[in-house]
Structure formats: structure tokens, C-alpha cells
């Protein structure tokens, strides 16, 4: 299917699915099997590491758009579900340094004044020719990026499915964004915050999931951004969850939440920590703990639900 055909058909598919598919009484909980399926596709060798500008990166974008459409989400890019932009490779010298990238954006319109943004980047390092690999000789080696960040995209899709399928209308809208070109310097989220498809001052807060697939019970899940709103201590009070977690005040950092923080928007950043396969060819699907990821998503649902009981969050600098 051509790119233009997909742009035309995805909105129609989304509208049809929304109209024709009855919502269950209880929304579907995060499912380890579905998480595993998303990661297995996105981090397969056939996807060749989803490098920015590659045909495989476009295939990943199409896959994400098709999933969002199947949940009945409204397209919220500038071209259907897609928000195209130019990305530049700067960390290494390559002949094709200017590349076409695209964010993938779906909207759950609850008729509210304010919107929760849930994001994750879907690009990775391709075949080791765009910089940032930790391998001493990366060229020609597929960097599958199962944890970084097929795990986050799987989480994004499961949360989109969860919220779209529920009968209860939340008091906030939800905007789901799969960012591209994060590995080139947060370029997708920087582009979105410079050219937002919803007003930035209407954003309640932003949740970013980057590398949530390698849960270590000894460390626990890290949740950054705790210092970006005075409301976060109240939101987290008494929350336990099925996984161990700890909070960090910082709103800055090397992932897409930083682009929103720089615009004065409260953020949360979910991250299971570094590991020896970080930015290496060995970041493969079978190493992702999908059971723990499902539990992490349950925790995210609880925290997001608590914020929906509050007025629009106030921003603060940690």
C-alpha cells in the first residue's frame, strides 16, 4: 500500500472502527502477549533497526498508525496520523544526512478542555550507520532496539487500546504520540512542541515511556519528573503497584519528555534502567520482560487515573 493511500484510508478505518465496534463494559487490561507481539514485529531483523529515514522506519510508522486506527482514534497529525518533518544526522558523516521522518499521532477526543499526552519514540539506530552505537564496529550490524524503544511503543499501543475501549469517558482527552528521530537528538518531540497539533497550554501533563522492558526487581522502575508539578506527591501518595518503583525529580534528560518540560509542561518519565545491551546489536526481543511491562502499564493507568481527578496540573521547576 502506498504512503498516500495509507494517509487516506487510516482516518476512514478509524472512523469505521469507532462506529462499528461496541466497547466492552471493562476496558482490556495490558496484555503480555500483545506486548510481546508488538515488540517482536518492531524489533525483528526484518525491520533492520528502524533507523530514521529508512523504509523500515516508515513501515514501523505505518504499523503504529494502523494500530491507532483500529482502536478508533482520530488522526491528529498534519497528514492524517503522520506529522512529517526533516531530520538531520549530525553525529557521524553520511551522504544522506537530511532524512524524512514522521511522528505518528492519534487522538481520543473526550470533549474536554485539556489533554494528557502519552508518548514513546519508535526509531532506533538502524544498521549502525547513524551514530550513537556503543559497539566498537557498528556498521552493518542490525540494532534491533527491542527495549529501546519497541518496549515503549508497545506500552503506548496498549494504553491507547485500553483508553479507547472503555465505556467511561475520561474528564481529559488523550493524545498518543509515537516520536521519530529521538536517537538523533529528540528531533520528533522537538518538532511536535514547536508545531503542536493541540495547543501546548491545553496539555495537562506528558507521560514518556522509553526503555520499559528490562525490569530489574533489585533496582525497580524509575519514574522521573516527580519535581515538575507540586501535585505529583499527592498523585503518588499510597500507590504501591505490582512492581517496585522509585521517583526522581528531574524533568530534563535524554528522552522526549525533556522537550515538553522545556515548554513548561509537567512530565513523568518511565524507564527500567540501563543494561549492557543499551545501543548494542544485542538489544533483542527475547530479553524483554513482558510480564513486568504489563505491570508497569497497570501502574501508569493508576497514576494517570489519579491525575484525572485533579484540575490541570501546575508546572514547577525541580
Number of structural domains the chain divides into = 1
Per residue in 97-119, pLDDT (tens digit) is: 999 999 999 999 999 999 999 99
Rounded Cα distance between 58 and 169, Å, is: 32
Q: With respect to residue 317, please indicate whether it lies within any of the assigned structural domains.
A: no
Per residue in 131-189, pLDDT (tens digit) is: 999 999 999 999 999 999 999 999 999 999 999 998 889 999 999 999 999 999 999 99
The answer to whether 121 and 28 are in contact (CB under 8 A) is no
Domain harbouring 31, CATH code: 3.40.630.10
Q: With respect to residue 44, please indicate whether it lies within any of the assigned structural domains.
A: yes
Is 75 a residue whose pLDDT tops 70?
yes
Element (H, E) at 270: strand 267-271
Burial class (CB in 10 A: 0-12, 13-18, 19+), 4: exposed
Q: Are strands 74-75 and 115-121 parallel, antiparallel or unpaired?
A: unpaired
Per residue in 242-274, pLDDT (tens digit) is: 999 999 999 999 999 999 999 999 999 999 999
Q: Which residues contact 241 (CB under 8 A, 6 or more apart)?
A: 295, 298, 299, 302
Longest distance between any two alpha carbons in the chain, whole Å: 54
Rounded Cα distance between 124 and 121, Å, is: 8
Rounded Cα distance between 215 and 42, Å, is: 19
Average pLDDT for the chain: 93
Confidence band of 3 (pLDDT split at 50, 70, 90): very low
User: CB count, 10 Å around CB of 83?
Assistant: 24
What pLDDT shows up at residue 96? 86
Q: With respect to residue 318, please indicate whether it lies within any of the assigned structural domains.
A: no
The answer to whether 164 and 53 are in contact (CB under 8 A) is no
Is 304 a residue whose pLDDT tops 90?
yes
Is 12 a residue whose pLDDT tops 80?
no
What pLDDT shows up at residue 18? 46
Buried b (16+ CB within 10 A) or exposed e, 271-310: bbeebebebbbebbbeebbbebbbbbbbbbbebbebbbeb
Is 311 a residue whose pLDDT tops 50?
yes
Q: With respect to residue 98, please indicate whether it lies within any of the assigned structural domains.
A: yes
Q: With respect to residue 90, please indicate whether it lies within any of the assigned structural domains.
A: yes
Q: With respect to residue 316, please indicate whether it lies within any of the assigned structural domains.
A: no
Rg (CA), the chain: 18
Rounded Cα distance between 181 and 301, Å, is: 27
3-state helix vs strand vs coil in the chain, percent to 5: 35, 20, 45
Q: With respect to residue 203, please indicate whether it lies within any of the assigned structural domains.
A: yes
Q: Which structural domain, as residue segments, surrounds residue 202?
A: 3-307
Rounded Cα distance between 171 and 174, Å, is: 10
Q: With respect to residue 315, please indicate whether it lies within any of the assigned structural domains.
A: no
Enumerate the β-bridge partners of residue 209: 270
Amino acid at each position: 500500500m502506498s504512503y498516500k493511500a495509507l494517509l487516506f484510508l487510516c482516518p476512514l478505518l478509524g472512523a469505521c472502527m469507532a462506529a462499528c465496534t461496541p466497547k466492552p463494559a471493562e476496558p482490556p487490561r495490558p496484555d503480555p502477549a500483545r506486548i510481546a507481539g508488538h515488540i517482536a514485529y518492531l524489533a525483528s531483523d526484518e525491520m533492520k533497526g528502524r533507523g530514521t529515514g529508512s523504509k523500515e522506519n516508515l513501515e514501523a510508522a505505518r504499523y503504529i498508525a494502523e494500530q491507532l486506527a483500529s482502536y478508533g482514534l482520530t488522526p491528529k497529525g498534519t497528514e492524517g496520523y503522520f506529522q512529517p518533518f526533516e531530520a538531520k544526522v549530525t553525529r557521524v558523516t553520511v551522504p544522506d544526512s537530511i532524512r524524512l521522518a514522521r511522528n505518528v499521532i492519534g487522538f481520543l477526543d473526550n470533549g474536554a478542555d485539556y489533554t494528557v499526552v502519552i508518548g514513546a519514540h519508535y526509531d532506533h539506530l538502524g544498521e549502525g550507520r547513524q551514530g550513537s552505537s556503543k559497539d566498537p564496529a557498528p556498521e552493518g550490524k542490525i540494532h534491533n532496539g527491542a527495549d529501546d524503544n519497541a518496549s515503549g511503543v508497545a506500552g503506548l499501543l496498549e494504553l491507547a487500546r485500553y483508553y479507547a475501549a472503555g465505556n467511561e469517558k475520561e474528564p481529559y482527552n488523550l493524545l498518543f504520540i509515537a516520536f521519530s528521530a529521538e536517537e538523533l537528538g529528540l528531533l520528533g518531540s522537538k518538532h511536535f512542541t514547536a508545531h503542536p497539533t493541540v495547543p501546548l497550554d491545553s496539555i495537562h501533563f506528558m507521560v514518556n515511556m522509553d526503555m520499559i522492558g528490562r525490569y530489574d526487581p533489585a533496582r525497580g522502575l524509575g519514574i522521573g519528573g516527580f519535581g515538575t508539578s507540586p501535585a505529583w506527591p499527592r498523585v503518588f501518595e499510597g500507590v504501591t503497584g505490582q512492581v517496585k518503583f522509585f521517583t526522581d525529580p528531574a524533568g530534563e534528560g535524554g528522552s522526549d519528555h525533556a522537550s515538553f518540560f522545556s515548554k513548561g509542561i509537567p512530565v513523568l518519565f518511565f524507564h527500567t534502567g540501563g543494561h549492557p545491551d543499551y545501543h548494542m546489536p544485542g538489544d533483542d526481543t527475547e530479553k524483554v520482560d513482558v510480564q513486568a511491562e504489563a505491570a508497569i502499564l497497570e501502574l501508569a493507568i493508576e497514576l494517570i487515573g489519579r491525575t484525572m481527578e485533579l484540575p490541570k496540573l501546575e508546572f514547577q521547576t525541580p
